[in-house]
Amino acid sequence: MQINSKQHYHAELFKSFSPVSPKLRRVKNRKRSENFEIFKYDGLRARRMGRPDYAIKCFTEALAIEEDFETMGYLSQLYIPMGETEKARELLEKMAVMEPHVTSTFLTLANVCYIQEDYKAMEEAAGKAIAIEEGNAVAHFLLGKARKGQDDEIMTIAHLTKAITLKDDFIEARLMRAEALLKMKQYKETMEDIDAVLAQNPEEETAILLRGKVKEANGQEEEAEADYQLVTEVNPFNEQAYLYLGQLFINQKKLTEAISLFDEAIELNPNFAEAYKVIGQSSALPAVCGRVCPQETQCEGKCIRGIKGEAVSIGKLERFVADWAKENGIKPEAPAEKNGHKVAVIGSGPSGLTCAGDLAKLGYDVTIFEALHQAGGVLVYGIPEFRLPKDKVVKAEVENVKSLGVKINTNVIIGKSTTVDELMENEGFEAVFIGSGAGLPMFMGIPGEVSNGVFSANEYLTRSNLMKAFRDDHDTPIVTGKKVVVVGGGNVAMDAARTALRLGAEVHIVYRRSEEELPARREEVHHAKEEGVIFDLLTNPTEIVADEKGWVKAIKCVRMELGEPDASGRRRPVVIEGSEFEMDVDTVIMSLGTSPNPLISSTTIGLDINKRKCIIADEEFGKTSKEGVYAGGDAVTGAATVILAMGAGKAGARGIDEYIKSKYAK
């Protein structure tokens, strides 16, 4: 007989209510118990064999059969190192309900909450452990740790003191109490804990670092530096030592050394977001510095690892971290509120951007005035795209400065559009920083230098980089040339030569000294040679020959030899008699350095300059002869490196901050 669906349903329902014999129930329970034990045993064995993934699977299967307290503990301990803190916490909270009188459960739960930065829950768990076992030193330590996470230094110290009372040799508790006491500037009590720890372990690194911090706070910078250096020698992998030493060097205005140390720390602990914040303490333009600064001498040359081997690749690290931050949308943090003071910055090059950024972080209302139509200064007009991408890098760095609240006004020529005095008297700016660079080119003064086809490197690079003259859809012309001579041996000369090469010319670099004396970075010389630039060394131009229409057709030169060192420390070039020769060329680019444009100094009353037309300013704060006016970068030193200009920008920001604070404190 065929059973319909309704009959089948009732049959199954009836079956489900059928009584199970006690014997069958016992067999099933025994089987479940056996399976539970098998899974638990396999989990324990997998844990011992270093197979946490398989151990987790086994313990999970065991708990599906039976909610066993011990197995939950095993599983939670596996989750913690794997970063599965939420799963670990869920299990521990279940365990706390199942057996509420087990101290270790609450201690482990407190540690998990600490990892999650849930300090309130951590405090609750540690408090329950103390309620079960009042004399548990670890529980009091964890409670102190929870209060520290809530920035309650007084209660932190109170709970840690209880932990130390219960366990006098509790090093971790003493170190944490020392940190809290240091924060409260109780230096004598801090040293008592540090001394107690070092008596137990003379090489305890955290204690030595804290001792250095106490010495630094008491003005003993040399002794503090010795402590930080000691830790790097004892343990070259202690990132905190590099960070402390780097911060000390920032305070001492040793910026290149600081960057070197920060990058050491980054290599040891590649927390890229935090690394970006750390680098930002000393470098406002890390993506730029990582590409164009002479790391081999300024940063990597200071790297302590270079003593025994190869220095850390600081430039590459800095570049990577900055690029990573950009790709992940990480920007410098703007201040919570403004301080109500206005500062003007003239020039948006590396010095101006750095000064503006540092002042903005301090709460100042900062406005940058840029003469050109695009912000970035020498970063956009001077350094070629193939070395420093404009949109990807420079524009992004400028936007980072703007994100701090800095306003940038372009097409404003200070000395023509307005003056420094007008900014201060009419526009309400309480201080001014001049970071206008050095854009006035130098020439040799030889015959024929005014011929058509003779450029300064400054003009040539500006036409190409800023005005995009190499593109057919842009109006600015540029003479490409078939055979180009670049006179000079610095980085700018290399940039001009490599640009001319890309425009299709045969390019020669003429330099009056040998390759050893070339002021350009080794890296830039290498790239120029690799690309096909011809180096005519120990050669000096004497005349530029023009055709009947006034266009360059040749350059006359002489051969040189090196004599005794001159004032620069380099061997002085001496003309070899009878060595004159002529090169057929159609373009000459003079790359002999630059000086500041006198427009600002000549229109600012009371602003002193030196014989090179550079603004006179002190190195420490950038203070000039005119009250409220500060200056730095190439406008003060003449053409120099990006990192030195940035350092001057930081000095100017410090000077302005102190000036305004002292002025309004009266």
What gap in Å lies between CA 557 and CA 510, rounded to an integer?
Answer: 9
The confidence score (pLDDT) of residue 16 equals 42
pLDDT digits over 211-261, tens only? 999 998 998 999 999 998 898 887 887 878 888 888 888 777 777 777 777
DSSP 3-state assignment of 90? helix
pLDDT digits over 349-392, tens only? 999 999 999 999 999 999 999 999 999 999 999 889 888 888 88
- The angle, 0 to 180 degrees and rounded to 10, between the axes of the packed helices 255-268 and 239-251 is 160
The confidence score (pLDDT) of residue 312 equals 66
More confident residue, 237 or 485: 485
What gap in Å lies between CA 359 and CA 53, rounded to an integer?
Answer: 52
What gap in Å lies between CA 438 and CA 451, rounded to an integer?
Answer: 24
Beta-sheet strands, E only, within 446-538: 454-456, 483-487, 506-511, 534-537
- Name the one residue in this structure whose structure tokens are 């030595």: 208
- Rounded average pLDDT over 423-435: 95
The confidence score (pLDDT) of residue 27 equals 56
- Tell me if 180 sits within 8 A of 160, measured CB to CB: yes
What is the pTM (predicted TM-score) of this model? 0.60
- Judged against a pLDDT cut of 70, whether residue 274 lies above it is answered with no
Question: What is the Cα gyration radius of the chain?
Answer: 35
More confident residue, 121 or 321: 121
- Rounded average pLDDT over 193-202: 92
The confidence score (pLDDT) of residue 303 equals 67
What gap in Å lies between CA 138 and CA 140, rounded to an integer?
Answer: 5
- Judged against a pLDDT cut of 90, whether residue 306 lies above it is answered with no
The confidence score (pLDDT) of residue 13 equals 37
- Tell me if 348 sits within 8 A of 367, measured CB to CB: no
The confidence score (pLDDT) of residue 334 equals 79
The confidence score (pLDDT) of residue 287 equals 73
- Rounded average pLDDT over 186-195: 93
- Rounded average pLDDT over 618-642: 92
The confidence score (pLDDT) of residue 272 equals 59
- Name the one residue in this structure whose structure tokens are 């003071």: 341
DSSP 3-state assignment of 291? helix
- The angle, 0 to 180 degrees and rounded to 10, between the axes of the packed helices 52-65 and 69-79 is 150
Q: Within 10 Å of residue 221's Cβ, how many Cβ atoms?
A: 15
The confidence score (pLDDT) of residue 26 equals 61
Q: Which two tokens stand for residue 274?
A: 């935090």
Query: What are residue 507's DSSP bridge partners?
Result: 484
Q: Within 10 Å of residue 253's Cβ, how many Cβ atoms?
A: 14
Please tell me the least confidently modeled range out of 57-66, 151-160, 254-263, 410-419.
254-263
Please tell me the least confidently modeled range out of 248-257, 310-319, 444-453, 473-482.
310-319
Q: Within 10 Å of residue 232's Cβ, how many Cβ atoms?
A: 20
First-to-final CA distance of the chain? 109
Q: How confident is the model at residue 278 (pLDDT cuts 50, 70, 90)?
A: low
Cβ contacts of residue 254 below 8 Å, gap of 6+?
Answer: none
The confidence score (pLDDT) of residue 493 equals 95
- Rounded average pLDDT over 206-215: 92
What gap in Å lies between CA 421 and CA 426, rounded to an integer?
Answer: 8
Please tell me the least confidently modeled range out of 181-185, 519-523, 563-567.
563-567
